[in-house]
Chains A and B, each alone.
Chain A
Amino acid sequence: MFDPGLAGAFGHRGDITIFVASEIVTMDPRRPSATHVAVCEGRILGVGPLEELEVWGPYTLDERFADYVLVPGMIEAHSHVIEGALWERPYVGFHPRRGPAGQIEGGQRSIDELLERLHFEDAALTDLSEPLICWGLDPLYFPGERLTSAHLDMVSSTRQIIVLHASLHLATVNSVTLQANGIDADSETEGIVRDTNGQAVGELQEFPAMLTVTALARLFRDFSDPRHLWTLARQGVNGGITTVTNLAGAEITDPQAAAPIAEQVADPSFPIRLVTYCLPGNATPDAVAERITALQATNTDKLIYGGVKIVGDGSIQGYTAVMNWPGYINGAPQGLWQVPPDRLSEMVRNYHAAGINLHLHANGDATIDAVIDAVDHALRHHAWLNHRHTLQHSQITTPAHYRTMARLGMCANIFTNHLWYWGDQHYTSTLGPDRTHNMETCATAAREGVRFSIHSDAPVTPLNQLHTMWCATNRTTPTGRTLGPNETITAYQALAAVTIDAAYQLHLDHKIGSIETGKHADFTVLTTNPLTCDPDHIRDISIWGTVLNGTPQPAN
């Protein structure tokens, strides 16, 4: 008797499309390279030469990628939805970035260039009462001169001008903004930077001080609006990414957040797969486990709740990563735990026991110690060998750490973009030369047997895995240093890190991450094969766009 369920599971019923490409890099070592891939019902029906695929019956040959290279759909395993929210505003950072419409923005390399850009954006805003909020300023690149309200007053004496710094921990505003929000000599909030006369100079440090500005409070509140998912998805497609993550989901702490997200992602035109790891908030482990399990029950092919994210400490450039001896070279305090280590261990044990995959943010080596100890401890109590708990950022992880991580079955997601974006600053100001050479040691992770991915932490750095691969294969800085030349990895290793090995740490390597029969038909479409081009040029490869579930998604 005909069983439609069985037919759906075992037979193909949809139309077959066969894509031909100049080369298909599969990242499946059984067949590393091919010329054709057959797609049916959004999945890969077969890979190989055309004659081997014809056995499936009638097909349409799609030749639009005949001059392109297909690689497995790239995966960004550590990014944030805020990437989408920020792109509703002008980007004014030092390094140019590609925006959702494909435009190149930023590249303001001096305060004068910044002011010129702000003038332009001010003129473009027709509503005179609307504050102009821009983002991406990194004062580290303007040594010697600090942006103040005096600069921004030259842009406007009638409109509020607000420049958010790249770290999102600071903002600089003009005098109109200070006045409109009653920020004056009497303001008590810490973080309002003042001159020697006690007058506010326009820089607001940290969240409480930024919240004294109503427009910023409103902006931050809007960050969680699900409409920003579309911009995030757009940015992903432009960066050649088919699976993006939100590594700070609020759906545990705010149960109402889930439904609108599900609605957006379910839209057939939503062009990306979204994997979310939720922050647990302060709820008890049982409550968190129950909630994440309920969310996982709603998983679809496109919206996947992977597990729980735990933030152990701060950042190295913010001097808040918790450090072991000898610590920061400027003698800054040893850093700030976000969760006390004993409590971290208790959380890891409980979530691990409940079978929840954990992604653990740890930048400082003391925090890395605590995370590895916590997983070790959890495994003594509960023998879940397939956990794939992942050390996130993993910036100064030592060989000893990686050896233990390999034994424990842990993964790493290494923040290689730091080498380019802050490598020079780490060299001179945070860790000093020798430990900066030893940052983001992908080769050591590989040598010691830890599967790793590499990431952008967008919006902290741009969402583009070719750039992230380039950082890992070249390890150069804007001033021309090569950091830790022994730690460069091959293009193949870097491509694995953004495809199959990223999929592995998300527990999705059976569905995505390589071009093999049965998996989702997710491809990244490139003009050049990153495995055979000069590694120096990986970041310059043009991205046509992606294919998600068999549907081409051109980049802007």
Chain B
Amino acid sequence: MSASRSAVPFTVIGGFLGAGKTTVINQILRGASGERIVVLVNDVGDTPIDPELIASRSADTITLTNGCICCSLGDEFALTLPDLLELSPPIDRVVVEASGIGDPGRIAQYGTLPGFALDGVIVLADCEGIGRLLDDGRIGHQIADQLRRAHVVAMTKSDLATSDELKRAKARIAEVVEGQGIPILEISNGQIPPEIMFGLGNDHVSELAAATSDSSMFTHGIDVQTVPVPAQVERVLLDQWLAALPEDVLRVKGVVNLADDTAVVVQKVGPRCRITARPDRADEPRLVVISITGTEFSHPDW
């Protein structure tokens, strides 16, 4: 890895068998739009990829026409992860599919190793099946643990469920993750809005901010709002405001100049919040808040 290169964002997609991980992965690969994404799946042979996207395939790797790569995550996955940083052309992003019974939070830890930056753990839950899974005396506790390890829970196949079913499923999930600040999002056709799926890497805070006036840019059901930020902010006020945000805030990203003449980058996904130092002060400090439509939060009074 060259020293100049920034860490590769690392996203984990979790959820039990049948939760819709393959559909989500296909959507990610299809929507890569110029990014070279490596998707590590449980088994390439068992992952149907849109045939028109496939440039070439071997037993454990599929190369896509858009430069993305989909490969099987072997038993030695964690050990061979650094090899991804040596690929040429360099990759922009890694997405890992957790196994159906695996702990997505555990896999996410590999995203904290040198060369990578953990960008989020999205755990999928099938609206129709999640209640039954949570009630299963044998594996229910492990399914609940998976949900608790999420930064965002995405309820899949929401278009196939009645509004009653949807409500029930959401209540079950909310009960499991209660008090952990994990937002629960409804999706259909495996479409997780890219601004939620990916926070790091595409430094598009300003783009997002500019686009907030044009709501058609964003997925139905998602609000993107720019929060005004003064020329400088007390760190303690920033921390307090972030901590007080409601659970339905999916992501916050932005740059803030602090009162002590330093500047920070803010990255929040669900309950996970990272505030890291930035070498220089930002010309246009701002915070963008992405939330489930209708979420109300207080703007900071700084």
Contact = CB atoms under 8 A, between A and B. Distances in A.
Given A281-B43, A282-B46, A284-B45, A337 B109 contact: no
Interface string A168-198: 0000000000000010000111110000000
Nearest to B272: A188
B113 A337 contact: no
Contacts of A30: none
Interface residues of A, number: 38
A281 B77 CA distance: 11
Contacts of A370: 138
A534 to B, nearest CB: 44
A334 B118 contact: no
Contact of B139 (A253, A283, A341): A341
B61 interface: no
A338 B76 CA distance: 16
A250 B75 contact: yes
A336 interface: yes
B73 interface: yes
Contacts of B17: 340, 343
Interface in A351-398: 366, 370
Interface stretch (B30-38, B62-70, B98-106): B98-106
Interface string B35-79: 000000011011000000000000100000000000011111011
A156 interface: no
Contact of A338 (B72, B101, B118): B101
Contacts of A333: 141
Given A221-B79, A254-B76, A283-B43, A189 B112 contact: yes
Interface in B162-190: none
Contact of B101 (A189, A208, A253, A340): A340
Given A189-B109, A208-B106, A209-B109, A340 B139 contact: yes
A282 B73 contact: yes
Contacts of A187: 112
A250 B76 CA distance: 9
A211 interface: yes
A477 interface: no
B294 interface: no
Q: Tell me the interface secondary structure of chain A in the complex.
A: loop
A53 B79 CA distance: 56
A204 to B, nearest CB: 11
A57 interface: no
Most buried by A among B78, B82, B118: B78
Contacts of A339: 101
B113 A211 contact: yes
A208 B110 contact: yes
Contact of A337 (B42, B75, B101, B110): B101
A212 interface: yes
B118 A188 contact: yes
A17 B154 CA distance: 72
**Main DSSP-derived SS at the B contact region:** loop
A257 to B, nearest CB: 10
A221 B74 CA distance: 13
A255 B59 contact: yes
A541 interface: no
A340 B129 CA distance: 15
A325 to B, nearest CB: 10
Interface residues of B, number: 31
Nearest to B138: A341
B113 A343 contact: no
Interface in A317-345: 322, 333-334, 336-341, 343
B75 A211 contact: no
Nearest to B59: A255
A66 interface: no
A190 B42 CA distance: 23
A279 interface: yes
A207 B43 contact: no
Among B59, B109, B142, chain A packs the most CB atoms within 10 A around the CB of B109
B142 A211 contact: no
A128 interface: no
Interface in B72-128: 72-76, 78-79, 82, 99-101, 103, 105-106, 109-110, 112-114, 118
B76 A211 contact: no
A61 interface: no
Contacts of A340: 16-17, 100-101, 139
A217 interface: yes
Contacts of B46: 282-284
A101 interface: no
Contacts of A206: 106, 109
A217 B79 contact: yes
Contacts of B45: 283-284, 287
Nearest to A191: B109
B110 A366 contact: no
Given A336-B142, A337-B139, A340-B139, A189 B113 contact: yes
Interface in A203-229: 206-209, 211-212, 217, 220-221, 224
A343 B42 CA distance: 14
Nearest to A367: B138
A258 B46 CA distance: 23
A212 B74 CA distance: 20
Contacts of B59: 255
A206 B108 CA distance: 13
A-B residue pairs, 10 tightest by C-beta: A208-B109, A282-B42, A282-B43, A188-B112, A189-B112, A340-B101, A221-B79, A253-B74, A190-B109, A337-B101
Interface of B: 16-17, 42-43, 45-46, 59, 72-76, 78-79, 82, 99-101, 103, 105-106, 109-110, 112-114, 118, 138-139, 141-142
Given A191-B109, A211-B78, A282-B72, 4 more contacts: A187-B112, A189-B112, A279-B75, A281-B72
Interface of A: 182, 187-191, 206-209, 211-212, 217, 220-221, 224, 250, 253-255, 279, 281-284, 287, 322, 333-334, 336-341, 343, 366, 370
13 contacts: A189-B112, A191-B109, A207-B78, A208-B112, A211-B79, A253-B75, A282-B73, A282-B99, A284-B46, A339-B101, A340-B139, A343-B17, A370-B138
